Amino acid sequence: MKRNLSLLFAGALMGASAVSLFHGTSGFSANAAGSETYRQLAIFGDIFERVRAQYVTPPDDKKLVESAINGMLTSLDPHSSYLDAEAAKDMRVQTKGEFGGLGIEVTMDNELVKVVSPIDDTPASRAGVLAGDLISAIDGEEVRGMSLNDAVDKMRGPVNTPIELTILREGADKPIELTIVRDIIKVKAVKFRVEEDVGYLKITSFTEKTFDDLMSAIDTISKEVPDDKLKGYVLDLRLNPGGLLDQAVSVSDAFLDRGEIVSTRGRDANDIARFDSRPGDVLNGKPVIVLINGGSASASEIVAGALQDHRRATVLGTQSFGKGSVQTIIPLGENGALRLTTALYYTPSGESIQGKGITPDIKVDQPLPEELQGRDLRRGESDLRGHIKGEEESEEGSGSIAYVPPDAKDDVQLNAALELLRGEKTDPAFPPNPDKAVMNQ
Domain with CATH 3.90.226.10 in the chain: 190-436
Q: Are 257 and 277 in contact (CB under 8 A)?
A: yes
Catalytic residue among 114, 202, 209, 323: 323
CA distance 373 to 390: 31
The pLDDT value given to residue 303: 98
Q: Residue 55 corresponds to which amino acid?
A: Y
Q: Give the pLDDT confidence score for residue 417 in this predicted structure.
A: 98
Amino acid 6: pLDDT: 32
**Domain covering 190-436, topology:** 2-enoyl-CoA Hydratase; Chain A, domain 1 (3.90.226)
Least confident of 57-66, 188-197, 324-333: 324-333
Higher pLDDT, 185 or 67: 67
Catalytic residue among 133, 183, 253, 309: 309
- The whole model's pTM is what? 0.82
Active-site residue 298, yes or no?
yes
Mean predicted lDDT score pLDDT of the chain: 89
Q: What is the pLDDT of residues 31-56, one digit of tens each?
A: 666 788 889 999 999 999 999 999 99
Read off the pLDDT of residues 386-404 as tens digits, 9 standing for 90 and up. 999 999 999 999 999 999 9
- Which 8-state DSSP code applies to residue 15? T
Q: Cβ distance 134 to 111 under 8 Å?
A: no
Q: Enumerate residues 6+ apart whose C-beta is below 8 A from 194.
A: 200, 221, 224, 225
User: What is the secondary structure of 111-176 as a DSSP string?
Assistant: TEEEEEEEPTTSHHHHHT--TT-EEEEETTEE-TT--HHHHHHHH--STT-EEEEEEE-TT-SSPE
In this structure, the strands spanning 232-236 and 176-181 are unpaired
Q: In CATH, which of 2.30.110.10, 2.30.42.10, 1.10.760.10, 2.60.130.10 is domain 99-186?
A: 2.30.42.10
Parts of the chain belonging to CATH 2.30.42.10: 99-186
Q: HSE of 287 in the Cβ direction (CA atoms, 13 Å)?
A: 22
Helix ranges (DSSP H) in 173-282: 210-224, 245-255
